Amino acid sequence: MRMITFSILRHFKCNALAYNISRRLKSDAVDIKSDDLKTKGASPDPDYIEVLPSWPEGEISMRIKATSSMRIYPNFVTEEEESSLLSELEPQLKRLRYEYDHWDNAIEGYRETERDSWNEQNAAILKRVRETAFSPHAELLPRAHVLDLAAAGYIKPHIDAVRFCGNTIAGLCLLSSAVMRLVHEARPELQLDALLERRCLYIMRDVSRYEFTHAVLGGEQSVWRGARLPRRRRIALICRERPRPEHCE
Ligand code: OGA
Ligand code: MN
């Protein structure tokens, strides 16, 4: 059997290019007055996004940008659709071993693969993901990334490398709920948690994708609004945009 290695993960940690992009976005920042909070909506997903207490009260403009660039669609797939995806993925995953203890890995306790062909029912689900998350003109990476985290697995803070991935990242969450933590790369007091329930779809783009690191919490750290959120094995099916041409070698 041929091992498929997923290049984004090999070059996971934020790199100089991601950093430059975040500088540029920052200087484009518009000022938003606190009155705009109500009209524009500081938190479009109040049930699923929680700004953490370290975030200064007055830092409103970045709060709007961060929370509005991270979307969560609960119950995006039904239980039946989840089973259908799993029955196609499991035989492929079963052949792989979970990886632990690689000092340079951004992920602990995972196995992964990519997939571009699906049975009819699953192809329709993937189509729905793409239609929800990406503009009709977006160019996507041809294969979906399948990331299987063991119950004890977790993802450390990182920014997906701009050399391997464009603006929008869409993840369909299967098997277990989890908490994703976003932390501003240059201002670590700006933090938020996103509740990624089993069968939800999340979409990360713009500020949340380029300026914030994201992590999937594990073990004792897996806490949502003060209550433990037990992490079981979790599979994320992730669709990404192709890298922007200026970031390709
Ligand atoms: C990634 C990642 C998040 C998830 O693979 O880059 O951040 O939902 N995954 O598993
Ligand atoms: Mn990532």
- Three-state SS sequence of the chain: CCCCCCHHHHCCCCCHHHHHHHHHHHHCCCCCCCCHHHHHHCCCCCCCEEECCCCCCCCHHHHHHHHHCEEEECCCCCHHHHHHHHHHHHHHHHCCCCECCCCCCCEEEEEEEEECCCCHHHHHHHHHHHHHHCCCCCCECCCEEEEEEEEEEEEEEECCCCCCCCCCEEEEEECCCEEEEEEECCCCCCEEEEEECCCCEEEECHHHHHCEEEEECCHHHCEECCEECCCCCEEEEEEEECCCHHHCC
* Domain residue limits at 118: 2-247
Total domains, the chain: 1
Residue nearest to atom 5 of ligand 1 (CA): 147
- As a whole number, the mean pLDDT across the chain is 86
Residue nearest to atom 6 of ligand 1 (CA): 160
The confidence score (pLDDT) of residue 35 equals: 43
The confidence score (pLDDT) of residue 27 equals: 34
- pTM of the predicted structure, to 2 decimals: 0.85
User: Which residues lie closer than 8 Å to 86 by C-beta, 6 or more apart?
Assistant: 174, 175, 235
| Token digits of residue 110 | 């995972």
Give burial (CB, 10 Å; 0-12/13-18/19+) of 219: middle
Q: Which atom of ligand 1 is nearest to the CA of 215?
A: 7
- Phi-psi bin for 89: left (phi > 0), alpha (psi -120 to 50), beta? alpha
Higher pLDDT, 9 or 46: 46
| Token digits of residue 243 | 């890298």
Cα of 94 vs centre of ligand 1, distance in Å, is: 20
Residue nearest to atom 4 of ligand 1 (CA): 236
Tell whether ligand 1 has an atom less than 6 A from the beta carbon of residue 147: yes
Q: For residue 114, report the phi and psi dihedrals to the nearest 5 degrees.
A: -130, 155
Residue nearest to atom 10 of ligand 1 (CA): 236
Tell whether ligand 1 has an atom less than 6 A from the beta carbon of residue 160: yes
The count of other CB atoms within 10 Å of the CB of residue 169 is 21
Tell whether ligand 1 has an atom less than 6 A from the beta carbon of residue 236: yes
pLDDT over threshold 60, residue 11 = no
**pLDDT tens-digit map of 155-190:** 999 999 999 999 999 999 999 999 999 999 999 999
Q: Which atom of ligand 1 is nearest to the CA of 196?
A: 8
Q: For residue 138, report the phi and psi dihedrals to the nearest 5 degrees.
A: -65, 145
Distance between CA atoms of residues 138 and 63, nearest Å: 26
Mutate to test the pocket of ligand 1, among 114, 147, 208 (most ligand atoms within 8 A of CB): 147
CATH number, position 95: 2.60.120.590
**pLDDT tens-digit map of 18-39:** 333 333 333 333 333 444 444 4
The confidence score (pLDDT) of residue 72 equals: 96
Tell whether ligand 1 has an atom less than 6 A from the beta carbon of residue 238: yes
| Token digits of residue 151 | 């119950």
The closest alpha carbon to 68, from 87, 88, 46, 90, belongs to 46
Tell whether ligand 1 has an atom less than 6 A from the beta carbon of residue 171: yes
Tell whether ligand 1 has an atom less than 6 A from the beta carbon of residue 214: yes
